[in-house]
Amino acid sequence: MTDAPTFREGLGVIGRGIRDEPRTFTVAVVGSALFGAALAGSGWVLGRVTDAVLVPAFDAGTVSARDAWLAFGAMALVGLLTALGVIVRRGYATVTQYRLQARYRRRVSRQYLRLPLAWHRRHPTGQLLSNANADVEAAWTVFAPLPFSFGVAVMLVVAGITMFGEDVVLGAVAFTVLPLLAVSNGLYQKVMSPRVSRAQQLRADVSDVAHESFDGALVVKTLGREREETDRFGRRAQELREANVAVGRARAAFEPVVEALPTLGTLVVLAVGTLRVASGAVDAGVVVQVAYQLTLLAFPVRAIGWVLAELPRSVVGWRRVDAVLRAEGRMRHGAERLPVTRLGRAVSAEGVVHDVVDPDGSRQRLLHGVDLVAPRGSTVAVVGSTGSGKSTLASVLVRLVDPAEGRVRLDGLDVRDVVAGGEPGSLPSTVAYVPQGTFVFDDTVRGNITLGLDDVPDEQVWHALRAARADGFVSALPEGLDTRVGERGASLSGGQRQRLAIARALVRRPSVLVLDDATSAVDPTVEQQILGALRGSDGVTVLVVAYRRSTIALADTVVHLEHGRVVDHGSHEELMSRDTGYRTLVEAYARDAAEREQLAGRGSGA
């Protein structure tokens, strides 16, 4: 049978579900108890009808209308109560199951939002999707047969009382089947438990591989790796298929045995009952009652087996869900609110140290005591070679991650003391961030820019588009702001998607704008126009991760970052004159840009 630790853990999952949905579960159990009592009682009613109506009718050759109507009424009442019990049990069991699934999907989703970015980076997206969907569903599927099993317990009690009350011998013969059914179910669960657990784990693995393949479709297609990726997915899918086939084989082996035992028991009851009737020990109605009740018990008793069968799957699902709910690393938020203003804010980083935890548990230090000051309304460019920590610093400044040491301040207030959420005075309402990778939703241009801000007038949207130099191509679209751009902005170029992302940030009128190489796909001339517009945009403070010389030259202050440390800071001219590494880097950027422009010119000439 199901191993003891799994069984105990399964009972804990059931207890948690009952505590979360006590009312609907109680109603489901009451309905199931009514069903069990009525179904078991129907055997007793049938026995009384046999002795009081059917046997006299065979002897006399006729039956009175009164007796017929009484028999019909009794059976109809039992049938009505049974049907009512089934409706209540099934309806409220389903409500309990789906409410629990909805409740825990919301809890997992809220936990995802609370957990820091560092936690998400350690967990594949496919696994997170599986936790919120398949694992939550698996955790509470046990509540579908669970109320039924309570009704079965009532049924066994009622049937046992009536069977043994009528005839001890026939009752003992009938109930001999139950231990055999229990042993069969126990062996069934022992075989099924590991197989179901493996199948559940493989479902998550297949989801993970599928999501990764879809997410990297462009890379797969451009490198011609369709066959290899298909084979990789096929291997995982084949493993899942084999696990599901193993589950099916176990069912095919045990279910016929479980089905056959009650039938064999009924035959034995009829054989023994015939001898008892012939000897005058019991009436025919008693035999009919016991045999009929045993037949009725055969199917419902299996509900207990269904519960035991679902327990391993529920335990596996719950373990995976609980791991998310218990995950640590939530960001601390204070109760301070930033004053609402359309002016820029002073930004400072003081001794910021940041570590990242690799999947193997080792730590890497990406930022080493970084200091940075961006006065209100200024433009600061962060420059460095690949892997120098620029994007990490940008993530810390907008509080996607918290530093291990040091602090980030806005107008002198530690960002960890600022309230959470997107309401006025919170960090998201003050600081806008445009990352390297631009994500565009399968929505209209307006929907992608406003993202749920229903009260944003079109004039404000167009103002943001003009500042991002996106108004021209948006005006040329077939339906303007109402044009759908396709999944991930498939109908737009890379530069157009980046400009939409900048407009999305600007429409919220932030006080601080952080651009993490967010104009890399934009023409250099357009990029200068965008940054020039931002410099005069209501005094907003701009921090830009940049590599183009023309972009860097627009900044009031340049911070040179290498290996997670600030090497130097000052104006572009100052750093060019005194920082050899900076000068070498900028000149390399310039040469690279010139070579790309030259190649582009040759391509257009051809």
DSSP E strands, 320-460: 347-357, 363-374, 379-383, 405-410, 413-414, 431-434
DSSP class of residue 513 equals E
Contact 585, 386 (CB under 8 A): no
The per-residue pLDDT of the chain, averaged, comes to 79
- For tokens 């003009």, the residue is 466
Most confident of 120-124, 373-377, 489-493: 373-377
C-beta contacts of 106-114 below 8 A and 24+ residues apart = 107/325, 108/132, 108/136, 108/321, 108/324, 108/325, 111/324, 111/325, 111/327, 112/324, 114/330, 114/331
Confidence band for 99, pLDDT divided at 50, 70 and 90: very high
In the sheet that holds 347-357, the strands lie side by side as 363-374, 347-357, 405-410, 413-414
What is d(CA 205, CA 240) in angstroms, rounded to the nearest whole number?
A: 9
pLDDT in tens, 348-365: 989 999 887 766 667 788
- Please report the pLDDT score of residue 1 as a whole number: 45
Does the pLDDT at position 37 exceed 50? yes
What is d(CA 600, CA 106) in angstroms, rounded to the nearest whole number?
A: 50
Most confident of 17-26, 198-207, 324-333, 591-600: 17-26
Confidence band for 592, pLDDT divided at 50, 70 and 90: low
The kind and range of the H/E element at 84 are helix 65-114
> For residue 418, what are the β-bridge partners?
336
- Please report the pLDDT score of residue 23 as a whole number: 92
Confidence band for 275, pLDDT divided at 50, 70 and 90: confident
pLDDT in tens, 132-178: 888 888 888 888 888 877 777 777 777 677 777 777 777 777 767 76
Does the pLDDT at position 523 exceed 50? yes
Question: Which domains does the chain show, CATH number per domain?
Answer: 4-325 (1.20.1560.10), 437-509 (3.40.50.300)
**For the whole model, what pTM was predicted?**
0.64
Does the pLDDT at position 604 exceed 50? no
Contact 532, 554 (CB under 8 A): yes
> Taking residues 71-93, what's their average pLDDT?
82
